[in-house]
Amino acid sequence: MKTSASSLYRTLRQRLGAWYDREARDLPWRRDVSAYHVLLSEVILQQTRVDQGMSYYHRFTEAFPTVYDLATASEDEVLLLWQGLGYYSRGRNLRRAAQIIVSDFGGELPRTLEELSRLPGVGPYTRGAILSFAYNLPFPTVDGNVYRVLSRLFALSDPIDTGAGQRVYWQLAEELLDREHPSRHNQALIELGALCCTPRSPHCPECPVQEQCEGYRRGIAETLPIKQGKTRVRPRYMYYFLVRLGEAGTTSRLLRRRGAGDIWQGLYELPLIEGGEEPLSTETLLAHPRLSALLRQLRAPRLHPQPRARAKHRLSHQQLYAELYLIEAEGLMPSSEEEEQPWLLIPEAEQERYAMPVLLTRLLEEAED
């Protein structure tokens, strides 16, 4: 049994490696391989398609050619470049990781799992990617593509979203690893998942390991991998207020930086009333104490009670529904109320210097059409 498994693994390694040499996409982080580039590309590409991630990768390497440049950048600079990618904590962690690489590792990414685990936002997959892709060290790595390919190749029904199930796949990836060519092997599995063994309608007739694929042989490939539980997606209703202050041509807007403990930490946004999991009726919204408090801070405010724009946005665990309302006012009152975060008065022309959630930029674009 052991012999047949090792001969199967040998065949798979050979076929995957040869296929990767022929078919691998020419991607910028594969052209100019360094541990810093692997870190950048892997953090950017988490939850992001390659075509979308590519422009962000170029932006980051141009703005921060070395880890030292990223380490000394301000959080605002990083978030502004990150704008639109979502999962903003990844951008903040990337900058923190660069700072630790500079302060604790002399500006070079470490070469051990233990040391890499000290970098925020660098999980098991990224650690394995840095060690194998950049340093060609014999470590497996398993991302969503690899879970899918392995579960189909070996017809595994272990769920990929439980700790016990994930251990099965990591163990298998370790056994299957091509220890002579770990970089090529790991990237081949990922590339196969991206190009050939796609989530829906896998291209089995063109697959280099079709003959060895148990999922294909049993006709169950498309039913794999198995996920045990679906995460509940919570609806969240949000009401934004575009406060225009001053005369046309010299108008400013009120913005505020979001604090910690929720989505979009460190991004900027307009005054917001949260409705929770249920929509607010117009009467409830217009009588809301936070809206009254906002209006009290404005000189001669005029609230337009019809929404100027509506937008939806899906996050991993939340479905956001947002509306944008317009308030015009002559200026700000000298406020005696202590706000948890001070308002910034931003000239309209300078708004794009402040990183905002995509949902809000969409609302603003729609309102200004």
Q: How far is the CB of 226 from ligand SF4 (least distance, A)?
A: 14
196 binds ligand SF4 (CB under 6 A): yes
Determine which residue in the list 204, 303, 346, 367 makes contact with ligand SF4, applying CB under 6 A: 204
Catalytic residue set: 42
Q: How far is the CB of 204 from ligand SF4 (least distance, A)?
A: 3
Here's the x/- map for ligand SF4, 149-168, by CB under 6 A: it reads as: x--xx---------------
Q: How far is the CB of 5 from ligand SF4 (least distance, A)?
A: 17
Our CB check for ligand SF4 shows the closer of 202 and 271 to be 202
- Please identify, among the stretches 11-19, 206-214, 230-238, 288-296, the one whose residues bind ligand SF4 according to the rule CB under 6 A: 206-214
Residue 7 and residue 86: Cα distance in Å, rounded?
43
Tokens describing residue 96? 């923190």
Q: How far is the CB of 267 from ligand SF4 (least distance, A)?
A: 39
181 binds ligand SF4 (CB under 6 A): no
215 binds ligand SF4 (CB under 6 A): yes
Site for ligand SF4 in 3-42 (CB under 6 A): none
Q: Check: CB of residue 273 under 8 Å from CB of residue 290.
A: yes
- Please identify, among the stretches 17-25, 38-46, 198-206, 237-245, the one whose residues bind ligand SF4 according to the rule CB under 6 A: 198-206
Number of CB atoms found within 10 A of residue 277's CB: 10
Q: Count residues contacting ligand SF4 (CB under 6 A)? A: 15
Our CB check for ligand SF4 shows the closer of 98 and 221 to be 221
Residue 95 and residue 258: Cα distance in Å, rounded?
18
Q: How far is the CB of 80 from ligand SF4 (least distance, A)?
A: 40
Determine which residue in the list 43, 119, 173, 207 makes contact with ligand SF4, applying CB under 6 A: 207
Which residues are at the interface with ligand SF4 (CB under 6 A)?
A: 149, 152-153, 196-197, 202-204, 207, 209-210, 213, 215-216, 221
